[in-house]
Structure 1
Amino acid sequence: MLRPTLLLDEFLPFRLSFTSNLVSECVARTYEALFGLTIPEWRVVAVVAEAGGVTQAMIGARTRMDKVTVSRAAIALVERSLVVRTRNPGDGRSHLLDLSPAGRALYAQVAPKALELEQRIFAELPAGEIERFVATLRRIDAITTALETER
């Protein structure tokens, strides 16, 4: 597999990033048009909906978004009264984020759209191929996580 020269379009890290960006841009246009949400805001809403009572650091770890991106998204969502911040009793330096009633209502609208969009994007791939693809992505996640700990 080792090639003597780097060809960007054949470089797998680039291909992953390129395709991920295409999918994210498609999703972003939909969320922005229908719900006025950016991708980071949607990711914060989704993590908070799944877990509830989470810190921004937990959201960053779960989504791989940097602190500044998570913070800006959380601030925007609090300003829109979609997320509520409360002091973290376990750590006075952080806050817990939860969805407000308006945030839960928004999530109830966005989640089905997200699933519909996922279906539209991947509809032409057979189920077995998607399962293998997800398994491969998870293996890549594990390998790169292990590489990070080596540094």
Structure 2
Amino acid sequence: MPDENFDLTDFLPYLLNQAAESSSMAFQQIYKERYGMLRTEWRVLFHLGLYGQLTASEIGQRAKMHKTKISRAVQKLTERRFVTRARDAGDRRLEHLTLTPAGHAAYADLRGIAQRYDAALTADLGAAERDALRKLLAKLSTASRAGFT
């Protein structure tokens, strides 16, 4: 028996997922075709490009990605010579990740494309709408879910 009191298309997590998937498809094609990257790889690349040297744990905290996915992405980026790893002298369990010159070049290329793509995605919105959308999404991404059952 259908539940007429619940509309999946109005469920906020569903809407956010649909918006994320549809808005990222064209950009995904670019980093996949140009650099053979998966989503987690470009996210790691961008974090290193934006923030400089980081550990996998620091990327995980910033990007809200699982350490296993980060580890695989780092391995692929290292194989492509976009990232170097250096063991921490004080804690051998830690590796410091840094972009290579090729990694910086890929990041700069994709950053420019991302900026143009972002502008195209929001071109039909007014400045106030763009600002409100970004603020609301940032607020949702940092909101506490503690106590929800």
Q: Deviations over 1:77-129 (max 9, x none)?
A: 00011100001234321201000111111112111011111111111111110
Give the TM-score taking structure 2 as reference length.
Answer: 0.89
Structure 2 counterpart of 1:33: 33
CA drift at 1:61: 1.2
CA drift at 1:41: 1.0
> 1:41–1:101: structure 2 CA closer, same or farther, 3 Å change rule?
same
Matches within 5 A, 1:1-150: 5-143=5-143, 146-148=144-146, 150=147
Q: Is the 8 A contact 1:24 1:39 kept in 2?
A: no
CA drift at 1:26: 2.5
Which runs of no fewer than 5 residues in structure 2 stay unpaired? none
Letter in 1 for 2:42: W
CA drift at 1:5: 2.2
> 1:136–1:90: structure 2 CA closer, same or farther, 3 Å change rule?
farther
Q: Deviations over 1:8-40 (max 9, x none)?
A: 101111101111111222221121123322221
Task: Using the TM superposition, name which of 77-86 and 106-115 deviates more.
Answer: 106-115
How many corresponding residue pairs?
A: 145
Which runs of no fewer than 5 residues in structure 1 stay unpaired? none
Letter in 1 for 2:77: L
CA drift at 1:66: 1.4
Q: Is the 8 A contact 1:53 1:96 kept in 2?
A: yes
> 1:147–1:37: structure 2 CA closer, same or farther, 3 Å change rule?
same
3-state DSSP of counterpart to 1:109 = helix
Q: Percent identity?
A: 31
> 1:86–1:124: structure 2 CA closer, same or farther, 3 Å change rule?
same
Structure 1 stretches (4+) deviating beyond 3 angstroms? none
Q: Within 2, Cα distance between the matches of 1:90 and 1:14?
A: 44
Letter in 1 for 2:31: Y
